[in-house]
A and B are shown apart, each in its own frame.
Chain A
Amino acid sequence: MITVIVVCVFGLVFLGIINRAKSVFGGRIGPRAVQSIWDVVRLFKKGSVISTTTSSIFQLAPSISFVCVIVATLLIPFGPYPAVMHFDYDVVLFAYVLALSRFVMIIAALDTGSPFQGMGANREGLYGMLVEPAFFVLFGSLSLFTGHTSFTDMFRELHLGGGVSYMMAGLAAYIVIQTAMIESSRLPVDDPKTHLELTMIHEVMILDHSGFDLGLITVTSGLKFAMYGVMLTNFFLPHNVWLPIALAIGIVVQFAFAITAGGLESFRARFKMTRNPQFIITLTSIAMLVYFSVLILMHKIGM
């Protein structure tokens, strides 16, 4: 339950914090972090324009996508505090509700019949597919390490101690941050601020959405970020931590994550589109390092 509350609170301001961090790094004052809330409120108040070439899929997709992210959030524990839903192999459900969320957005984009959106959908599908192995190798390794297959049990059992396990946590954190950046279509793979349709990935898919639907999509991407933020926190929460301290750590991690994301977006350019697949595949190889650390820790292979 704590996860849901943290995700809901930070989901609303997460994009605002990133934007604020980016403007400060860029030497500007920038909008307040809560601006992202007002943007969503403004969108919710607006009416929608719906293209006549689209079918009901187009209108359903943002809501389905939103629900998928909420369902995924329900599966994430908060350190030792269990998730709302937990059962064996819920890791698989997590991966595929997020995939379902992406799938409905892709078919909604194709539904509009616009060549831009077709291109965006194509790219989103490819990158989503490439990021999947990294996720499964990472959580497969953790599941091997802890002997459990649900997030709640896995994170309850995850004890850090000794050099290799810190390295493992560091690598896992890196993978989660990069996965979140890719899933949320941020730099260096995508640029949420670009106005150039031909270079867009996620943004171009939602070009036709307006009003309430667009607001929902914005909220969804904020929630997704905050959800990965909680997952990141889980790697660093000690085993038997007092709730207020756990919350404090959670809040610090969320802020640090948002500011890191802002920093990552401030001081670098995005990749050439053709380099993106190579970059995403490197995440899988880093996940393989986690796998080998697990094997070492469990004395399955010698040092």
Chain B
Amino acid sequence: MNTLVTKNGESFLVSEIPFVPYQEFTGTVLALLHDYNNHVVHYISLKSTSGILPIVICIANDATAEIHVVGFEYDTTTLRSIESITLHNAALHIFERDLWERHGIAYQNHPWLKPVRFPKNSSHGQTIDDYAFFRIEGGEIHEVGVGPIHAGVIEPGHFRFQCVGEEVVHLEIKLGYQHRGVEGEFVKARNDVQRSVIAESIAGDTSIGNAWAHAMCMEGLRGITPDHSTQADRTIALELERIAIHMGDLSALNTDVAYQLGSAVFGTLRTPLINYFQHWCGNRFGKGLIRPGYNRFELTTALQNRLSEMLDDINKQYTAMAEKMFNSPSVVNRFEGVGAVPENVARKIGVVGMPARTAGILRDVRISHPFGVYGKAPYPAILLHTGDVLARAKLRRLEIDASMDYMQGLLADPRSAYEARPTVKKMPPRSMVISMVEAWRGELAHIVLTDEVGEIEMVRVKDPSMHNWFALAQALRNTPISDFPINNKSFDLSYCGHDL
């Protein structure tokens, strides 16, 4: 099979990517995705030159830690129609919609060719006001629209339900209300610091994840390998972010089912976790910690002891509360069997992160494409099978347990001080790098490309929510509409990560 094989965070030349005719491209992609170990990381267009638009797909193999890259060239002057691959593999639907929206690529037989983000210069000609919602007609059908202002997190998203009585027949999720132009800002930025700040601001709940994914790209391009202590500290930061958000989510799940004890206790425990970043780097969300090539704040012995003590203390209270919650018949009954996304559906739509791991698919970048110190100190595989709200809650519990142990393990390791910050090397021209980070939601991928003179030409970001929003819509099929809030909370997908 004619593909370029690379690894997580390794840079390569754009000219090394094989560009093949579309027919062959489709064949290659479908052959690759036929193997359950492979999944789509990103499917993007590069910069077009004189009407020829290079389009590449990145497919990661979870068994071999390889990423396959292959592309085709599309003539934007003729806009010749091409056969959609979505019909054969639904995981690609969102990426094809994105390409259609950006460049007007005429996909044939795409079952759901609708705008993704409504960017300012879109080619589809649709505005957010005349979005063609799917409608079911019938005397018993009624339509409920929720949003676009989300009552809880105040982020915009519109949910339209087609219901028969209390039962949801179809849920359509429309996002794209925030036109932030994140990817464009990366290119406008003048230096590493500005770009890091942008990366940290993509999604407030994933600032460590995004900062690291971006730093990994820049390090890959410059050929820098940060020392072990730097990597260990980043790993600790990522896991701390994970348990803080998971803790908050457990609290919110309990709030949604009116279990006030769990809601109060988990909510209280989240605060010291997230506040620890304030002590470490001066920002509660860990902004300003990770920069390409180095960390600005070393986790000193005093900070390590403080973290270790805090984790011990939180662990006791957390374990007691988690025992109570998961042994409470009323809570378990409320969660059990609600909004199940079974393995076959999850595979079809190509979910990543938590919804994958609760449906029996071990899709975890920490294990399959290790970065940081995950290669040397493996993170345990956590796999559940029921795919319902209870499984998503349980997975959070198991991950909090595992991450606490994992962090304590890293803290107990003897470590040396940070090495001197590496000198900033120039980036190679016409190069590309793909970095993947297992943020708390799942696989986060950044792609950075350089131009002829080694300046940043393009940055592409993929939040795990891109894959997973569709899983939420699937989870609601034939489910009572009153179960939507706990489903939504158990997925806890990103609006801003989607509306880049």
Taking Cβ atoms with an 8 Å cutoff, the residues of A that contact B are 22, 25-28, 115-116, 118-119, 122, 187-188, 191, 193-199, 265-275
Contact A270 B151 (CB under 8 A): no
> Which residues 232-278 of B sit at the A interface, judged by CB distance below 8 A?
254, 256-261, 263-265
Query: Considering the chains assembled together, what is the distance between the CA atoms of A28 and B144 in angstroms?
Result: 36
**Other-chain residue from A25, A188, A269, A275 in contact with B254 (beta carbon distance below 8 A):** A269
Complex contacts, A22 vs chain B, CB 8 Å? 260
Taking Cβ atoms with an 8 Å cutoff, the residues of B that contact A are 142-146, 151-152, 165-166, 254, 256-261, 263-265, 328, 330-331, 333-334, 338, 480-485
Query: Considering the chains assembled together, what is the distance between the CA atoms of A28 and B265 in angstroms?
Result: 10
Query: Considering the chains assembled together, what is the distance between the CA atoms of A27 and B321 in angstroms?
Result: 13
Contact B260 A266 (CB under 8 A): yes
Query: Considering the chains assembled together, what is the distance between the CA atoms of A122 and B264 in angstroms?
Result: 32
Contact B258 A273 (CB under 8 A): no
**Other-chain residue from A25, A187, A195 in contact with B261 (beta carbon distance below 8 A):** A25
Query: Considering the chains assembled together, what is the distance between the CA atoms of A29 and B198 in angstroms?
Result: 41
Contact A187 B258 (CB under 8 A): yes
**Other-chain residue from B142, B143, B151 in contact with A196 (beta carbon distance below 8 A):** B151
Query: Considering the chains assembled together, what is the distance between the CA atoms of A196 and B265 in angstroms?
Result: 21
Contact B328 A268 (CB under 8 A): yes
User: What distance in Å separates the Cβ of B270 from its nearest Cβ neighbour in chain A?
Assistant: 15
Contact A193 B258 (CB under 8 A): yes
Considering residues A28, A268, A273, A275, which has the most beta carbons from chain B within 10 angstroms of its beta carbon?
Answer: A268
**Other-chain residue from B145, B152, B165, B333 in contact with A195 (beta carbon distance below 8 A):** B152
Contact B166 A273 (CB under 8 A): yes
User: What distance in Å separates the Cβ of A264 from its nearest Cβ neighbour in chain B?
Assistant: 11
Chain B residue, CB-CB nearest to A275: B333
Contact B258 A269 (CB under 8 A): yes
Query: Considering the chains assembled together, what is the distance between the CA atoms of A191 and B482 in angstroms?
Result: 12
Contact B151 A191 (CB under 8 A): no
Known: A195-B151, A198-B482. A270 touches B145 (CB 8 A): no
Contact B330 A26 (CB under 8 A): no
User: What distance in Å separates the Cβ of A182 from its nearest Cβ neighbour in chain B?
Assistant: 15
User: What distance in Å separates the Cβ of A74 from its nearest Cβ neighbour in chain B?
Assistant: 34
Query: Considering the chains assembled together, what is the distance between the CA atoms of A195 and B143 in angstroms?
Result: 20
Chain B residue, CB-CB nearest to A272: B334
User: What distance in Å separates the Cβ of A222 from its nearest Cβ neighbour in chain B?
Assistant: 20
Known: A26-B261, A198-B481. A270 touches B334 (CB 8 A): yes
Contact B330 A269 (CB under 8 A): yes
Complex contacts, A266 vs chain B, CB 8 Å? 260-261
Known: A115-B144, A194-B258, A196-B151. A274 touches B166 (CB 8 A): yes
Considering residues B146, B166, B257, B484, which has the most beta carbons from chain A within 10 angstroms of its beta carbon?
Answer: B257
Residue contacts A-B, CB under 8 angstroms, 11 given: A25-B260, A26-B264, A27-B261, A115-B142, A118-B142, A187-B258, A196-B151, A199-B256, A267-B328, A270-B334, A272-B333
Complex contacts, B483 vs chain A, CB 8 Å? 272-273
Contact A272 B144 (CB under 8 A): no
Query: Considering the chains assembled together, what is the distance between the CA atoms of A273 and B334 in angstroms?
Result: 9
Contact B338 A197 (CB under 8 A): no
Complex contacts, B258 vs chain A, CB 8 Å? 187, 191, 193-194, 265, 269-270
User: What distance in Å separates the Cβ of A285 from its nearest Cβ neighbour in chain B?
Assistant: 20
Complex contacts, A115 vs chain B, CB 8 Å? 142-145
Contact B482 A28 (CB under 8 A): no
Contact A269 B485 (CB under 8 A): no
Known: A115-B143, A272-B480, A272-B483. A188 touches B260 (CB 8 A): no
Query: Considering the chains assembled together, what is the distance between the CA atoms of A191 and B264 in angstroms?
Result: 16
Considering residues A25, A187, A270, A272, which has the most beta carbons from chain B within 10 angstroms of its beta carbon?
Answer: A272
User: What distance in Å separates the Cβ of B118 from its nearest Cβ neighbour in chain A?
Assistant: 25
Chain A residue, CB-CB nearest to B268: A27
User: What distance in Å separates the Cβ of A188 from its nearest Cβ neighbour in chain B?
Assistant: 7
Contact B256 A194 (CB under 8 A): yes
**Other-chain residue from B256, B334, B485 in contact with A271 (beta carbon distance below 8 A):** B334
Complex contacts, B331 vs chain A, CB 8 Å? 268-269
Complex contacts, A273 vs chain B, CB 8 Å? 166, 480, 482-483
Contact B481 A119 (CB under 8 A): yes
Chain B residue, CB-CB nearest to A126: B166
User: What distance in Å separates the Cβ of B331 from its nearest Cβ neighbour in chain A?
Assistant: 4
Query: Considering the chains assembled together, what is the distance between the CA atoms of A197 and B261 in angstroms?
Result: 22
Chain B residue, CB-CB nearest to A188: B330
Query: Considering the chains assembled together, what is the distance between the CA atoms of A268 and B330 in angstroms?
Result: 6
User: What distance in Å separates the Cβ of A15 from its nearest Cβ neighbour in chain B?
Assistant: 15
**Other-chain residue from A26, A191, A272 in contact with B338 (beta carbon distance below 8 A):** A272
Chain A residue, CB-CB nearest to B489: A196
User: What distance in Å separates the Cβ of A225 from its nearest Cβ neighbour in chain B?
Assistant: 18
User: What distance in Å separates the Cβ of A119 from its nearest Cβ neighbour in chain B?
Assistant: 7
Known: A118-B142, A268-B330, A272-B480. A199 touches B485 (CB 8 A): yes
Contact A267 B333 (CB under 8 A): no
Complex contacts, B143 vs chain A, CB 8 Å? 115
Complex contacts, B480 vs chain A, CB 8 Å? 272-274
Chain B residue, CB-CB nearest to A115: B144
Contact A267 B482 (CB under 8 A): no
Complex contacts, A199 vs chain B, CB 8 Å? 256, 482, 485
Known: A115-B145, A274-B166. A269 touches B264 (CB 8 A): no
Known: A27-B264, A119-B481. A269 touches B259 (CB 8 A): yes
Query: Considering the chains assembled together, what is the distance between the CA atoms of A47 and B323 in angstroms?
Result: 47
User: What distance in Å separates the Cβ of A5 from its nearest Cβ neighbour in chain B?
Assistant: 33
Query: Considering the chains assembled together, what is the distance between the CA atoms of A199 and B485 in angstroms?
Result: 8
Query: Considering the chains assembled together, what is the distance between the CA atoms of A266 and B331 in angstroms?
Result: 12
Query: Considering the chains assembled together, what is the distance between the CA atoms of A199 and B263 in angstroms?
Result: 17
Query: Considering the chains assembled together, what is the distance between the CA atoms of A267 and B331 in angstroms?
Result: 10
Complex contacts, A187 vs chain B, CB 8 Å? 258
**Other-chain residue from B144, B256, B330, B338 in contact with A116 (beta carbon distance below 8 A):** B144
Contact B142 A269 (CB under 8 A): no
Contact A269 B481 (CB under 8 A): no
Chain B residue, CB-CB nearest to A191: B258
Complex contacts, A195 vs chain B, CB 8 Å? 151-152
Complex contacts, B146 vs chain A, CB 8 Å? 197-198
Complex contacts, A194 vs chain B, CB 8 Å? 256, 258
User: What distance in Å separates the Cβ of B340 from its nearest Cβ neighbour in chain A?
Assistant: 14
